[in-house]
Structure 1
């Protein structure tokens, strides 16, 4: 986590020449993050090196979210050619650790997380975003057959896998619910609790540069079936009911289908991060992902996919393979 060579000049050009640059945790992409500290002020330096990364989607989505009254980081300075952004620092208090330490308030925190989506989904989707629909859903689940299955030496019927998913997801595509802005990586490690903020502004949003226009159930599935922390089933059910009551939209069937789609994709993505990118740490999440997926597959709407898994992926190649 050595800062890019051009970072000091960038910071100096924008009034942060005397600042210390300290490493922050990265993510699953090529992006890296650093905390910039100058006396009693601090900010975050995002290194999004071209051609691997483009910071412009992050800027556009951040500005859109702020226009809606949500709390995305303010862009303090930018150098698009070198892929550098200086952005507002939301601090270190993440939703994940806070809820884990205050489990008696889990429902309260997730009510705010759900209300944020209600607020976002009441507005027209952001212009210019890619559409996340049946074609993308089917392509994404194939990461399981393309990465997970070869890594565990499982010989599977790929065509039958895609056909089973099409049978499950086509009704979701045609359910008539309005499409919304989907943040896509909306989960407890990308939601900060910002001191001094109230209401929806208390929740600081991160990692939304891959936003799409898609189904309103998707981000709820992302945050309630979290790859990194277990949400209690009672809270999950309460938040689905809360969303339905606030919006009048019955997303339950789509929720289980898209949760299963997302969890299947993630099983493949985490193997790809391990095999292709050398990020072995993602292997530890696989037992939880299987636990979530097995629960999703128990839903009646998932019968075709459940039958494919039963015929193609033995128990020894599921969660227990990673323990």
Structure 2
């Protein structure tokens, strides 16, 4: 199976001290240079095969959304390489990216903020159609948009309504229709159900999987809850403080989690059984600031299995089982 997306050693940083008076401070009778750099993504590598769903999970603040926005080139990468469909898109300019954007679409987390409140829903879905298909007439675009809206569960008589007249689940359906409009190869779904009621989440996830088979799509599915990606992902990457600490197939990850952080996430998944997926771990503290990254392993300050080497040396990625990778000193 050919690779559709390959991300290699991707970094993303943000300088919070852009102005002269932000960088230079007068302290102790001398001028001192101070820099505040947010290390949002720190060497992320993974790939997605055609037709696969790759789940990227982790706590809020772990860099998942920033990774997605960098891949789709809403943010310029600091370093690393992004290959899409065999082409290096890491540093393409806006004109060169335009045909690529047709094949990579995004579903955003907040269905209330991602739709233009001044546009009718039919116009929201028609806009990308007309932008990417210059030969398409307005009537043809409207016909296609109506078909897409009906496919995701929006009735034709609702086409002239505005986003505020729909519920959160309906708005997310409209966002899905907009992403499908230009027939992409890859859809990046950034927490597509986290802002929705629990009763609606399963409906949206089932809709995405039906559309995946129907339109032959690949997905990068971002979530903070492992239970969301459990039933629909082919591979999963567990992200902590801008790094992927474990990656494996879905079955391998759930049957044999290796990294302590993965075990923490799994132990927090609610189940109807008396026994949790893994034995609960006592984790202290919260995720550190990406401005001041810990030395050594980023997780060592919270890890119940931390050793002296964890404070000094950053663990490299190691293949413990076939196609099951972990970055942890316990296994090195």
- Per the normalisation by structure 1, the TM-score is 0.25
Which structure is higher in strand share? 2
**Higher RCO (C-alpha 8 Å, min separation 6):** 2
Query: TM-score of the superposition, structure 2-length normalised?
Result: 0.25
Higher helix fraction (1 or 2) = 1
**Greater C-alpha Rg:** 2
